Structure 1
């Protein structure tokens, strides 16, 4: 979990609209379907990491969970933005959505969710790294 190099061609206006909606949809879906309560806290990302690990252990095909992983990544990004209390923001670049923190670093929580599914990442640790200002 390291910060990424600045993506080329950053777009700010309304960059947060999609990931914020994905995050909200994930919170609602997990509450209703999986009885998993997500409260935008860093601690809740531990539960998300466990859920992704469960999907991986069950050998769920990537195509079946691609949008779920995008939602989990967006949720983690929203946790970062909220924990940073105004010093982090969503940006859109290269077809993806990134978080830029106050120290100028860029984070890709959606990609980190994919890495988690591959057994090589942690949304909780990404959040801790991104908010350790």
Structure 2
């Protein structure tokens, strides 16, 4: 990631941004984007579809950001996270301007994680990301 997009929404705008993305994405389809942990499999499949379709990363940047906002909102709703604006060091490290702070104080970059899935494929599962960070990977069937 070359750096944070200066036009990207801030932490306070991420919840409505994710909701708008879901509305637009599901308007013509019945994708089960319901903010459940299980719906992260759908996000994995959507990103894989973009990859397999040969999409250029720049061309799908907005879609990837929207999917990252959705993943972050799942962390907020299901794991008690909170959207935060990254400080200068965090922006430099993550290449994004916003992320999610978990109740234990750890900060995560769901937008970057979606970009990683796009670049690396299956090894960067978004559902596994949630389960590992929330401590459930070993107890949940794939």
Cα distance in 2, alignment partners of residues 81 and 15 from structure 1: 15
Cα distance in 2, alignment partners of residues 33 and 18 from structure 1: 24
What runs of 5+ residues in structure 1 fail to find an aligned partner? 1-13
Q: What secondary structure sits across from 2:59 in the alignment?
A: helix
Q: Does 1:89 align with 2:82?
A: yes
TM superposition shift of 1:15? 4.9
TM-score of the superposition, structure 1-length normalised? 0.79
Q: Does 1:28 align with 2:23?
A: yes
Cα distance in 2, alignment partners of residues 110 and 91 from structure 1: 13
Equivalent in the alignment of 2:3: none
Equivalent in the alignment of 1:4: none
Using CA pairs below 8 Å that are at least 6 residues apart, which structure has the higher relative contact order? 1
Equivalent in the alignment of 2:109: 108
**How much is the aligned-residue C-alpha RMSD, in angstroms?**
1.9
Equivalent in the alignment of 1:127: 130
TM superposition shift of 1:105? 1.0
Q: Does 1:52 align with 2:53?
A: no
TM-score of the superposition, structure 2-length normalised? 0.75
Equivalent in the alignment of 1:6: none
TM superposition shift of 1:125? 1.6
Say whether the 8 Å CA contact 1:80–1:131 is kept in structure 2. no
TM superposition shift of 1:18? 2.3
